[in-house]
Amino acid sequence: MDNVWKKYEDDDLNRLNEICDDYRKFLSVSKIEREVVKNSILLAEEKGFRNLEEWIREGKKLSAGDKVYVNNRGKSLALFVIGEKDITEGINILGAHVDSPRLDLKANPFYEEDEFAYLDTHYYGGIKKYQWVTLPLALHGVVVRKNGEVVPIVVGEDESDPVVGITDLLPHLGKEQMKKEASTVIEGEKLDVLIGSMPLKEEEKDAVKKNIFMILKNKYGIEEDDFLSAEIEAVPAGKARDFGLDRSMILAYGQDDKVCAYSSLRAFLDCPPCSKTISCILVDKEEIGSVGATGMCSSFYEYAIEEICELLGHTERTAIARCLSASCMLSSDVNAAYDPLYSDVMDKRNASYFNHGVVFCKYTGSRGKSGSNDADAEYIAKLRNIMDHGNVHFQISELGKVDAGGGGTIAYILANKNVNVIDCGVGVLSMHAPWEVTAKADIYEAYKCYLAFLQEA
């Protein structure tokens, strides 16, 4: 397998740069799941998609070529284009997740200590805690007032905004700290975000914290109590950037799994009319086990297909079972790319490499494939054929050495519904770190792969 840059002609390079530039811009304004869903709906509506609820309300039947989406609580999204073939002949599904590791604010986040105001956090997903100190952080999310009004919050992204962050001990006094294991050198309870140091003149107690509240009240009209019903995430501040002096890579927060979410959505929206129904799922909560109403384990996706079946005139009880059993899915999620600095955790013959194309992963899991979806050989053979036909450069890998650890994705969840599923995505360096790295050539090949899959699976 060759480095795919060597194979590109000018047409490829132009298309690659166009897609990667759009991806970088999308990523810079789509750091958390709610922002991804909102911005994805905007892109879909530009292409003529409409909310399925409108369809249901109007009692309109669906037919081939119709484009609909289901917005699940603003945190996950399912899009469909109805095909010529009957829906019981199956759907070609792309599924990615749009949540990423971060620091969530606790329900009672504010406190003042020795004239500093802090936000108390509870980390979300698998992080190396020591990576999150001394970084510029931004706050993204929503505060929901008692009357139901949703106040969106983004602080720290505009050039003129302040940023916040977590302090660390100076090395001069870090002798004891440096003896600790990496997992405890920064403890979860110490990941508290410093947000202010200026007291209100006329206040005796918590004067710094009170000053912060005055600022929040003036800017957003919110009170301390309103944070009881809020979801605010502290994430690395700043835009996605070209990475490398040759600009061959992208550095950004949250590329697991927005690199696959964006390339899947882009391929889905660019896809010409298909004979089968096609779908793209962008889902929340993968990093903590796909739990909750907005995670992949929720029934929302099946409910959406049930609604669609009914609007297509399928009222028989078996329609959804037949549809899912005939469906194919790519679980679009990232893979741990080979890193020469950490080659000891990789099996070189079964690793994924930067610039070697989109990565198929037959199984993930840990301790002997536990928790994985093991895609069957027949399905992989079919996909190999589609990739070759679509001139897609791909590689097949595992997630690191057998006993090195492991991980999971949403693949097994739809597989449990009897859908044919395999993991398929982009290799990442520094996965789950505040700033992750991907290769542009792999993003382009993922896009081509998803496009070929939607049309031919």
Site of interaction with Mn ion (CB under 5 A) = 256-257, 333
Contacts of 24 (CB under 8 A, 6+ apart): 239, 240, 241, 242, 250, 252
Please give the C-alpha separations between residue 424 and each of 44, 96, 127, 427, in angstroms, as whole numbers: 23, 10, 23, 10
Supply the minimum distance, in Å, between the C-beta of residue 405 and Mn ion: 13
Supply the minimum distance, in Å, between the C-beta of residue 126 and Mn ion: 7
Please give the C-alpha separations between residue 310 and each of 265, 275, 305, 306, in angstroms, as whole numbers: 25, 19, 9, 6
What is the helix (H) or strand (E) element at residue 436, kind and residue range?
A: strand 436-439
User: At what angle are helices 440-456 and 377-389 packed, to 10 degrees?
Assistant: 110
Which CB atom, from 258 or from 356, has the smaller least distance to Mn ion?
Answer: 258
Supply the minimum distance, in Å, between the C-beta of residue 145 and Mn ion: 32
Which CB atom, from 123 or from 220, has the smaller least distance to Mn ion?
Answer: 123
- Measured CA to CA, the distance from residue 71 to residue 77 in angstroms comes to 5
Q: What is the sign of the dihedral through the CA atoms of 104, 110, 113 and 118?
A: positive
Supply the minimum distance, in Å, between the C-beta of residue 96 and Mn ion: 8
DSSP structural state of residue 284: S
Contacts of 111 (CB under 8 A, 6+ apart): 117, 118, 120, 209
User: At what angle are helices 10-28 and 440-456 packed, to 10 degrees?
Assistant: 100
DSSP structural state of residue 352: B
- Measured CA to CA, the distance from residue 379 to residue 326 in angstroms comes to 12
Which CB atom, from 222 or from 280, has the smaller least distance to Mn ion?
Answer: 280
Supply the minimum distance, in Å, between the C-beta of residue 334 and Mn ion: 5
Supply the minimum distance, in Å, between the C-beta of residue 424 and Mn ion: 12
Which CB atom, from 411 or from 457, has the smaller least distance to Mn ion?
Answer: 411
Which CB atom, from 164 or from 260, has the smaller least distance to Mn ion?
Answer: 260
Both tokens of 262, joined, read: 């964006």
Supply the minimum distance, in Å, between the C-beta of residue 99 and Mn ion: 9
Among candidates 405, 328, 326, 419, which has minimal Cα distance to 364? Answer: 405
Which CB atom, from 333 or from 445, has the smaller least distance to Mn ion?
Answer: 333
Say which amino acid occupies 279: S
Which CB atom, from 26 or from 49, has the smaller least distance to Mn ion?
Answer: 26
Supply the minimum distance, in Å, between the C-beta of residue 253 and Mn ion: 13
Supply the minimum distance, in Å, between the C-beta of residue 392 and Mn ion: 21
Both tokens of 430, joined, read: 């520094």
Which CB atom, from 81 or from 446, has the smaller least distance to Mn ion?
Answer: 446
Which CB atom, from 206 or from 256, has the smaller least distance to Mn ion?
Answer: 256
Say which amino acid occupies 413: I
- Measured CA to CA, the distance from residue 313 to residue 301 in angstroms comes to 19
